[in-house]
Amino acid sequence: MLRNLAIILLLLFIMFNCNQIDGNKESKKKEEDKRNLALLAMTSLNNSGVVTNTGSMLFARVNHTSTLLPGGKVLIAGGQKQSGDILDSAELYDPVTGTFSLTGKMSTKRFVHTATLLSNGKVLLAGGGDGTQFLFTTELYDPATGTFSPTGRTATSRYESGTVLLANGKVFVVGGSSNSSPEESSAELYNPATGTFSIVAGMSTKRAYPLANLLSSGKVLIAGGAASKSPLFTAEIYDPVTNTYSATGSMPKFKLKGTSTSILLPNNKVLFYGGYLYNYTYGTTYELYDPATGTFSSQGNSLVANRQWPVAVKLSDNRILLLGGDFSEVVSGVGYKYSYPPTTEIYDSNTNSLTYGKNLYLHRVLPCATLLDNGKVLISGGWNNNIPTSSAELYEP
């Protein structure tokens, strides 16, 4: 412990002296590296878990999807590769062998789409973009045949929509951006029995990038997003039984989907973490929504300040693993700088607290993270040094 403390003090001393240097770009880069190194040293004191490398994907991907299938394999679909091209390829990860293999191709190239595991074991992939437009098309992946097939079209093209599997087995798709509007209030339901979408009641507020979570009551919480290029702090509740919306409490801070994350907790509250706020400021606290009172409340600070683009995944012990993304700060003489440490955090709803998790091998912005049947978390792809990566790693609590 004393040795770790001595290392941290030494790193902080180096950082202080670097701040006194009126240097060129090289010295400023060194200053940034020292800050990241100091942060990593801090996280090493109380971290938990084990991180190991696993096989790499056959294609580098970012803005892809990762879905656990019945039987334990993981479907990796679509995304964007280094050249900027959009992918129609898909892969399967086998936890037994730790390898990826190709499976059938999607009928449409797509990225920033949604992937929802249906009760029949198939996966619905919907919306997103193909690089030229937002998509009306959707398709189904059948693990039994390893193939994709087209299914019903949405009434509205959708990009970064909120998508939730309802208790009745239907898929609720809401908001997002379309080819005709930067933000949508409309919503639709996909019925797996008929393979079609039907229009349902729309939200009271247009929302691009909404955060949507299924509550234990069967209702859907829809929060934040953006309208007219401004972040939203309002939220509303959709009731699938009555096909109506009702107002609920507002968030203490603006949250934009894509730059923040939210997840339902075992205590039925919803955790909101990180993200872009407004005017080049970023979330440093986490918030909880309580369905019993219909209110949001600010909680403690995140351990890694200003984290945006994080990913959240529920562990087998019901704690929440938070990882990926970047954070920003103002550096004297440089301006606004982004840092990309590969840190993780663990949220425990029993104690309402965050602790450091084990550092990843790579820093990743917009990776996918999926809980496997063996309790490990598969972390794949994402931006690394502004380049999509094909690498993957496993986090074991």
Higher-scoring residue by pLDDT: 255, 352: 352
> Tell me, what DSSP letter sits at residue 360?
P
- The answer on pLDDT for 3 being more than 50 is no
Question: Is residue 228 packed enough to be buried (19+ CB in 10 Å), middle (13-18) or exposed (0-12)?
Answer: exposed
Strand order in the sheet with 244-247: 211-214, 220-223, 235-239, 244-247
Q: Given this model, what pLDDT does residue 340 score?
A: 75
For the segment 231-254, the average pLDDT, to the nearest whole number, is: 92
Residue 221 DSSP SS3:
strand
Share of the chain above pLDDT 70, in %: 82
The three-state (H, E, C) secondary structure of 84-117, written as one string: CCECCCEEEEECCCCEEEECCCCCCCCECCEEEE
Q: Nearest-CA neighbor of 165 among 201, 90, 218, 202?
A: 218
Most confident of 24-33, 83-92, 197-206, 271-280: 197-206
Question: How far is CA 344 from each of CA 34, 42, 335, 340, 356, rounded to the nearest angstrom?
Answer: 19, 12, 26, 12, 6
**H-run or E-run covering 392:** strand 392-396
pLDDT tens figures, 295-308: 999 987 777 656 78
- pLDDT bin (cut points 50, 70, 90) of residue 79 is very high
Least confident of 180-184, 248-252, 282-286: 282-286
- The answer on pLDDT for 21 being more than 50 is no
C-alpha to C-alpha distance for 342 and 327, rounded to whole angstroms: 11
- Backbone dihedral angles phi then psi of residue 133, each to the nearest 5 degrees: -155, 165
Tokens at residue 212, please? 């949507």
User: Are 81 and 60 within 8 A, CB to CB?
Assistant: yes
What is the topology classification, in CATH, of domain 63-320?
Answer: Neuraminidase (2.120.10)
C-alpha to C-alpha distance for 20 and 360, rounded to whole angstroms: 31
For the segment 323-345, the average pLDDT, to the nearest whole number, is: 76
Numbers of helices and strands, H then E, in the chain? 2, 34
Higher-scoring residue by pLDDT: 259, 91: 91
For the chain, domain boundaries? 63-320
Q: Given this model, what pLDDT does residue 226 score?
A: 86
pLDDT tens figures, 344-359: 999 999 999 999 999 9
Tokens at residue 171, please? 């898929």
For the segment 242-246, the average pLDDT, to the nearest whole number, is: 99
Q: Given this model, what pLDDT does residue 64 score?
A: 98
Question: How far is CA 264 from each of CA 27, 248, 310, rounded to the nearest angstrom?
Answer: 44, 17, 15
- The answer on pLDDT for 23 being more than 60 is no
Q: Given this model, what pLDDT does residue 211 score?
A: 93
pTM for this one?
A: 0.87
C-alpha to C-alpha distance for 74 and 100, rounded to whole angstroms: 9
Higher-scoring residue by pLDDT: 176, 330: 176
- pLDDT bin (cut points 50, 70, 90) of residue 336 is low
- The answer on pLDDT for 35 being more than 60 is no
- The answer on pLDDT for 73 being more than 50 is yes
What's the Rg (C-alpha) of the chain?
21
User: Are 226 and 209 within 8 A, CB to CB?
Assistant: yes
Q: Given this model, what pLDDT does residue 328 score?
A: 65
Pairing, β 295-301 against β 244-247:
unpaired
For the segment 75-89, the average pLDDT, to the nearest whole number, is: 93
C-alpha to C-alpha distance for 317 and 315, rounded to whole angstroms: 5
> Tell me, what DSSP letter sits at residue 27?
H
Tokens at residue 322, please? 């938070």
Tokens at residue 110, please? 């797509």
